[in-house]
Amino acid sequence: MCGIIGGIGNTDFRSFLLTGLTKLDYRGYDSAGVAYFEGDKIEIRKVCGRVAALSLLVPQTLHTKVGIGHSRWATHGRPSVVNAHPHASQSGMFAIVHNGVITNFKTLQNQLKARRFQFVSQTDSEVIPHLLEWYYTRSGSVMEALRLAAEELQGSYAVAILCKDDPNHLYYLKKGAPLLICKTQDGIFVSSDPTPLAELGGDFYDLPEGSYGYLGEQEVVCYCGETPTAPTPFPYSGVAQSNELHGYRYHMEKEIADIPYAIAALSDNYLSNGALCFDENLLSALSGAKRIHFLGCGSSFFACQCGVSAFRARGKEALASVASEWLGFPYDLDGTTFFILVSQSGETADLIRCQAILNEKAIPHLTVTNTKMSSLERKSTYSLLLYAGLETAVAATKTFVSEVVLLELLASALGGAAVTEADLNCLIEGANAVLGRRNDLERLLSAFGENTFCLATGRLLPIAREAALKLKEVGYLHAEALASGEMKHGPLALIGEGFPVLALVGEICGQEGLRASLEEIKTRGGVPLVISMASYAQDEDAFVLPNVPAPLVPSLFAIVVDLFAFVLGQSRNHPVDHPRNLAKSVTV
Ligand code: GLU
């Protein structure tokens, strides 16, 4: 899930590599490193931590024409300097950065150890430079070494490689992990995604799947096995999106404040002259399908569950599956089901695998994502963009709300009462009202310790799940979401004096049962903290939301739970933008 950056040509490599890595650290940020030439030697600098720490180790000027860098999200071997990339081969002939997982690394490690290679790290990646060195020593050709290594490596990999004997080329291997190049007048640059290359202003190309080869200053050579192949043009607009904080202290804080604008962007893009506008073919594919099957991971999975309620409310059969679970047992593949894949980044590895299964069977599907030209968007039959703007903080906030709103708009385009521009304006007003009452949420903080339940019913249950996820992500507390009716089937055993329970009350269905559960919790010493919607509010409720039209109720609750999680994480001095152990885009 790490980020790779590299290039060959005339550029300030210090600035290019370090700035590029900063832009990539949403893919993983537990350690970082670079490799470049100093005379005829390969120099490696790496740290356990973020790019700012790395920059202290890299000389002000690099006299190199080629360099590679890496921002890691550890899969094998804990975050440490030794496990950080780049990794060197035994004699230092090769230095590599790797994104992905080598599934047969144990077998390869044993073979290489028998050939007297010594391993210094606990990573799967370290087999790659040693394997290259083994074949290079025997064949005298880097390309032959790459070809033979590619035959042996199993799993997924994008690898950028420096060879000490050849300071004029940047070598690569690619299978099952993204690797793009950008050709400019100054040279050729490579990255695991286009973001850090956007401002170079060159032409983008995708390196062929299963290929290996090299980049020179103005040439790209690719092979699949023994057959020459060529990179395919990648129509990326190259517009760099702003990552500025605009006076906010945290990206998460700014992105929550952006929510009203994100809703307005959906209104601008999916409503025209007061009417919903979606592709007619998409609408007829949805109407014609026997049922709608949503696939997602994390927050996007909870958005999928909101989508299920939205479609069911319009009489359409729908269900949602966690992508990684569906992969273990793919079903609904007889052509009568329409799939909707939801992913903020459009790069979620599990969803990409789901999509490959759908595409192999030519099953039409829709991708909902915030990232134009992402892997999922490019290979989808239909796609709908969120237009929420760049989201940098690891915890999804504005993109989650946008996903929930967009799925509601799409469902309402199928029939029944349509969501109108006035409805969206009312939601924007409600969002602004909630965002202006941060102090009221701060008053609730003292009730929270290390554990909580998040209770809801019906359409608010996915939002309670999202609340529990956010409290884990940025609050580092154990939070569990429950349908309120489940309380007395076991979880009530945990309730004792002072145990906090967050409850979301916003619709008629299930309200009585939820209020009854809260009484039972109170009776046993628990502390219910109720967030309710005005028309269902009671005097003792902790935070009352303004009324919004029924289909948009979950969206407004999503905003308040995002804000609450942020306020809680910040009050505990947690790194809310970059929580421990996580990465924004889950690409392994
Ligand atoms: N498997 C490699 C490691 O743990 C790369 C992980 C990644 O792609 O982030 O170092």
Q: What is the pLDDT of residues 360-397, one digit of tens each?
A: 999 999 999 998 888 899 999 999 999 999 898 989 99
Among 123, 156, 175, name the best residue to mutate to test ligand 1's pocket (greatest count of ligand atoms within 8 A of Cβ): 123
Among 72, 83, 173, 581, name the best residue to mutate to test ligand 1's pocket (greatest count of ligand atoms within 8 A of Cβ): 72
Residue 354 three-state SS: helix
Q: How far is the CA of 77 from the centre of ligand 1 (A)?
A: 9
Q: Which residues line ligand 1 (CB under 6 A)?
A: 1-2, 28, 72-77, 98-101, 123-125, 588
Phi, psi for 359 (deg, rounded to 5): -70, -35
User: Among residues of the chain, what percentage have pLDDT more than 90?
Assistant: 86
Q: Binning pLDDT at 50, 70 and 90, where does residue 199 land?
A: confident
Residue 109 three-state SS: helix
pLDDT, tens digit, for every residue of 515-545?
999 999 999 999 999 999 999 999 999 999 9
Give me 299's structure tokens. 């927050």
Residue 73 CA, closest ligand 1 atom number: 9
Give me 220's structure tokens. 């790209």
Residue 28 CA, closest ligand 1 atom number: 9
Among 46, 101, 104, 348, name the best residue to mutate to test ligand 1's pocket (greatest count of ligand atoms within 8 A of Cβ): 101
Residue 85 CA, closest ligand 1 atom number: 10
User: Among residues of the chain, what percentage have pLDDT more than 70?
Assistant: 98
**pLDDT at residue 240, rounded to an integer:** 65
**pLDDT at residue 239, rounded to an integer:** 65
Place of tokens 């910040």: 570
Q: What's the pTM value of the predicted model, to 2 decimals?
A: 0.86
Beta bridge partners of 41: 38
Phi, psi for 582 (deg, rounded to 5): -110, 170
Instruction: Look up 2 and say whether it is catalytic.
Output: yes
Q: 3-234, which class in CATH?
A: alpha beta
Q: Binning pLDDT at 50, 70 and 90, where does residue 339 land?
A: very high
Instruction: Look up 426 and say whether it is catalytic.
Output: no
Q: How far is the CA of 230 from the centre of ligand 1 (A)?
A: 27
Residue 76 CA, closest ligand 1 atom number: 4
Beta bridge partners of 188: 8, 183
Q: Which of 104, 232, 288, 86 is nearest to 171 (CA)?
A: 86
Q: Which of 2, 222, 304, 454 is catalytic?
A: 2
Tell me how far apart the alpha carbons of residues 191 and 7 are, in angstroms, rounded to a whole number: 9
Q: How far is the CA of 6 from the centre of ligand 1 (A)?
A: 17
Tell me how far apart the alpha carbons of residues 70 and 5 are, in angstroms, rounded to a whole number: 6
Tell me how far apart the alpha carbons of residues 157 and 510 are, in angstroms, rounded to a whole number: 49
Q: Which of 23, 174, 183, 584 is catalytic?
A: 584
Beta bridge partners of 527: 500
pLDDT, tens digit, for every residue of 135-182?
999 999 999 999 999 999 999 999 999 999 999 999 999 998 889 999
Tell me how far apart the alpha carbons of residues 125 and 86 are, in angstroms, rounded to a whole number: 9
Tell me how far apart the alpha carbons of residues 493 and 500 are, in angstroms, rounded to a whole number: 14
**pLDDT at residue 50, rounded to an integer:** 86
User: What are the CA-CA distances from residue 319 to residues 294, 295, 316, 329, 346 (Å)?
Assistant: 6, 9, 10, 15, 21
User: Which of 118-122, 304-308, 393-397 shows the lowest per-residue confidence on average (mean pLDDT)?
Assistant: 393-397
Q: How far is the CA of 1 from the centre of ligand 1 (A)?
A: 7
Place of tokens 């040279």: 187
Rounded mean pLDDT of 268-276? 92
Same fold yes or no, 3-234 and 438-581: no
Residue 124 CA, closest ligand 1 atom number: 1
**Topology of domain 246-419, per CATH?**
Rossmann fold (3.40.50)
**pLDDT at residue 97, rounded to an integer:** 98
* CB-based contact 345:369 (threshold 8 Å): yes
Report DSSP letters for 91-120, one per residue. Answer: TSSEEEEEEEEETTHHHHHHHHHHTT----
**pLDDT at residue 418, rounded to an integer:** 86
**pLDDT at residue 238, rounded to an integer:** 60
Rounded mean pLDDT of 65-90? 95
**pLDDT at residue 191, rounded to an integer:** 95
Residue 99 CA, closest ligand 1 atom number: 8
Residue 343 three-state SS: strand
* CB-based contact 318:294 (threshold 8 Å): yes
User: Average pLDDT of the chain?
Assistant: 94
Whether residue 33 is predicted with pLDDT greater than 70 in this model: the reply is: yes
Tell me how far apart the alpha carbons of residues 275 and 432 are, in angstroms, rounded to a whole number: 24
- In the chain, where the domains are located: 3-234, 246-419, 438-581
CATH number of 438-581: 3.40.50.10490
- Tell the burial category of 420 from Cβ atoms under 10 Å away from its Cβ (0-12, 13-18, 19+): middle
Q: How far is the CA of 244 from the centre of ligand 1 (A)?
A: 28
Tell me how far apart the alpha carbons of residues 537 and 530 are, in angstroms, rounded to a whole number: 9
**pLDDT at residue 24, rounded to an integer:** 84
β-pairing, 94-102 vs 87-88, is antiparallel
Q: How far is the CA of 94 from the centre of ligand 1 (A)?
A: 18
Give me 45's structure tokens. 């600098």
**pLDDT at residue 480, rounded to an integer:** 97
Q: Binning pLDDT at 50, 70 and 90, where does residue 93 land?
A: very high
Among 4, 26, 75, name the best residue to mutate to test ligand 1's pocket (greatest count of ligand atoms within 8 A of Cβ): 75
* CB-based contact 33:86 (threshold 8 Å): yes
Report DSSP letters for 442-454, one per residue. Answer: HTTGGG--SEEEE
Is the preceding omega at residue 575 within 30 degrees of 0, hence cis? Answer: no
Q: What is the residue type of 307? A: G
β-pairing, 337-343 vs 365-369, is parallel
Length of the chain as a residue count: 588
The residues, ordered by sequence, that sit 6+ positions from 93 with a Cβ below 8 Å of its Cβ are 129, 132, 133, 136, 163, 164, 165
* CB-based contact 548:430 (threshold 8 Å): yes
Rounded mean pLDDT of 470-498? 95
Residue 317 three-state SS: coil
β-pairing, 227-229 vs 187-191, is unpaired
Give me 267's structure tokens. 């209104």
User: What are the CA-CA distances from residue 289 to residues 15, 308, 320, 461, 462 (Å)?
Assistant: 51, 14, 15, 26, 24
Q: How far is the CA of 588 from the centre of ligand 1 (A)?
A: 8
Residue 27 CA, closest ligand 1 atom number: 9
Report DSSP letters for 183-234, one per residue. Answer: EETTEEEEESSSGGGGGG--EEEEPPTTEEEEE-SS-EEEEETTEEE-PEE-
Q: How far is the CA of 481 from the centre of ligand 1 (A)?
A: 32
Rounded mean pLDDT of 289-298? 97
Q: Binning pLDDT at 50, 70 and 90, where does residue 100 land?
A: very high
User: Which of 27-36, 47-56, 136-145, 470-479 shows the lowest per-residue confidence on average (mean pLDDT)?
Assistant: 27-36
**pLDDT at residue 245, rounded to an integer:** 85
Q: How far is the CA of 72 from the centre of ligand 1 (A)?
A: 6
**Maximum Cα–Cα distance across the chain:** 80
Whether residue 1 is predicted with pLDDT greater than 70 in this model: the reply is: no
- Tell the burial category of 165 from Cβ atoms under 10 Å away from its Cβ (0-12, 13-18, 19+): exposed
**pLDDT at residue 446, rounded to an integer:** 95
**pLDDT at residue 509, rounded to an integer:** 76
Tally of CA atoms within 13 A in the half-sphere of 296 that contains its CB? 30
* CB-based contact 551:312 (threshold 8 Å): no
